[in-house]
Structure 1
Amino acid sequence: MPSDPTLRPDGVRVVHVDEDPPAAWSAAVYLCGPTPTDPRETSWRPAAVAALRERWTGGGTLAVFVPEPSPGGHYPAYADQIGWEEEAMRLSDVVVFWIPRDMARLPGLVSNIKWGTWCGSGRAVLGAPPAAERMEYLLHFADALAVPVARTVEETVRVALDRVGTGVPRAGGERAVPLPVWRTGPFRRWYGERTAAGDRLLDARVEWFGGAGAQAGAEAAEWLLTVTVAPADGAAPAVTRLLAAQGQGMLM
């Protein structure tokens, strides 16, 4: 039996807004999009979680961030909700947008802001049914930035999982390095040197991500990271910026 009581045998761990993320995973996905405010309206996220459970074939844990309370739980204070969502998206390998926009019932205006933040991150996947309203602007930038677009929840999930593949096991501060960065040669070389020296990665933040391979997370992707590293000699943690551009990595 899994040691984590919240981890299903399929390897999927759902993390609700009133819960802390697991200490380790192979991949992490955030389910972004409008949440019904009318209790008579059904949320789209259970269907997305079910599709993720059915399709996840990685050998490790898939963390799925759901910005809704756990069964019987409650939403936190508004500022705490925002903070949880921002941190969960920062830690995610893919930010899945499903926007079934209906201006009368489910306008999803906050989703526009989040899309504007993440559409160029190399981690976004956009899903919307053909009948969704006021989607032209989002679809324009999905096309301009080569963000994949799907028309059903199930297809959106499939595209997201295609992006992560089987994932890569990460724990602690490693979770803050998303797969599109982790899989690039410059990061792997830098991190290999640090681990060989006995250093420990405490945290990382992607400040910029781009380049020809950005959307696919290919070797041609370029990035700027701020990393916090605990040296092996016990000295105070050091904050450093790492840049990978034009196929080369360097310290700043």
Structure 2
Amino acid sequence: MRYIEPPQEFTPDAGPSLYLAGPSIGVPHWQSEAVALLAAAGFTGTVLSPRPTRPGADPFLAWAPFGWQDHNIRHTDCVLFWMPIGAQRIQDLYESHLFGRTAGTVVVGCDPDDPDQASTRNTLGAVLPWLPVESTLADTVTAALAQLSAGIATHTPPEPRARPHT
């Protein structure tokens, strides 16, 4: 498995790639758990994590406007959102078609015991009803691996609705 974090450059290759999206400051290091689950499953592709593991690294480096995250999230085959901060970013990615070879491949997991995540789950159910939402990080990783194995998105998002002029 190839692991990339800021400020490392990502150049897509023939193998699958997975971006770990979700909170990375002030929360447990769920990204390292996801990487361990991927390794245990035998994933041999590339994992991109915006959360640096090097001591002293700038934890905000990935979030610069038009920076590391914005560039790399567009070039991965699957984006795994764990405990997303609201549903808007997920919806924006779908509507902007910001994906590479498997346009639209997104996997989402929300902790059902977290009230904020329950709200995000409900919002996603309303705005992206075709998108399954997993309940554990392990299930979310498994769903991402299934998407990558299939090589295509299970659900094709509909065209964005035209917004009424007011």
State the TM-score bracket (shorter-chain normalisation).
0.7 to 0.9
Q: How does 1:7-86 map to 2 (within 5 A)?
A: 12-37=1-26, 41-57=27-43, 61-72=44-55, 74-75=57-58, 77=61, 80=64, 83-86=67-70
- Structure 1: segments with no counterpart, 5+ residues: 1-11, 100-107, 167-178, 181-214, 224-252
Q: Which has the larger radius of gyration?
A: 1
Letter in 1 for 2:89: K
Counterpart position of 1:216 = 154
| Residue number among 79, 91, 97 corresponding to 1:116 in the alignment | 91
Alpha-carbon displacement from aligned partner over 1:35-55 (angstroms, at most 9, x marks no partner)? 133xxx521111111111111
Instruction: Return the alpha-carbon distance in structure 2 between the equivalents of residues 87 and 142 of structure 1.
Output: 28
| Residue number among 75, 81, 89 corresponding to 1:91 in the alignment | 75
1:217 Cα deviation after fit = 6.2
Contact between 2:108 and 2:133, CA under 8 Å: does it hold in 1?
yes
- Structure 2: segments with no counterpart, 5+ residues: 98-103, 160-166
Letter in 1 for 2:42: W
1:141 Cα deviation after fit = 2.8
Please state which structure has a larger fraction of its residues in strand: 1
Alpha-carbon displacement from aligned partner over 1:178-204 (angstroms, at most 9, x marks no partner)? x53xxxxxxxxxxxxxxxxxxxxxxxx
What SS does the aligned partner of 1:87 have? helix
What SS does the aligned partner of 1:29 have? strand
**TM-score, length-scaled by structure 1:** 0.50
Counterpart position of 2:143 = 159
Counterpart position of 1:174 = none
Identity in percent: 22
| Greater RCO (Cα-Cα under 8 Å, separation 6 or more) | 2
Runs of 4+ in 1 over 6 A off after TM superposition: none
Q: 1:18 to 1:53 in 2, by over 3 A?
A: same
1:139 Cα deviation after fit = 3.5
Contact between 1:48 and 1:153, CA under 8 Å: does it hold in 2?
yes
Number of residue pairs matched by the alignment? 149
Instruction: Tell me whether 1:125 sits opposite 2:107 in the alignment.
Output: yes
Letter in 1 for 2:35: V
Letter in 1 for 2:4: V
Counterpart position of 1:6 = none
